[in-house]
Amino acid sequence: MTDRKIVVPEGVKGLIFDMDGTLLNSTPVHYKAWLDACQPYGVEFSYDFFITLTGRPVVELSKDLIARFKMEVDPVELVMKKEQLVESNLHKVELIKPVFEVVEHFQGRLPMAVGTGASRDRAQLLLSDSGIIDRFDAIVTSDDVNNYKPHPETFLRAAEIINVEPGLCLVFEDGHLGMDAAVSAGMKVIDVKPFYE
Active site residue 18: yes
Give whole-number Cα distances, 177 to 115, 136, 151, 152, in Å. 12, 22, 8, 10
Coil, strand or helix at 192: coil
Given the residues 3, 18, 36, 191, select the one marked as catalytic: 18
CB atoms within 10 A of CB 197: 8
Q: Where are the alpha helices (DSSP H) in 13-163?
A: 27-38, 47-51, 58-69, 75-87, 97-106, 120-129, 153-162
Residues marked active site are found at: 18
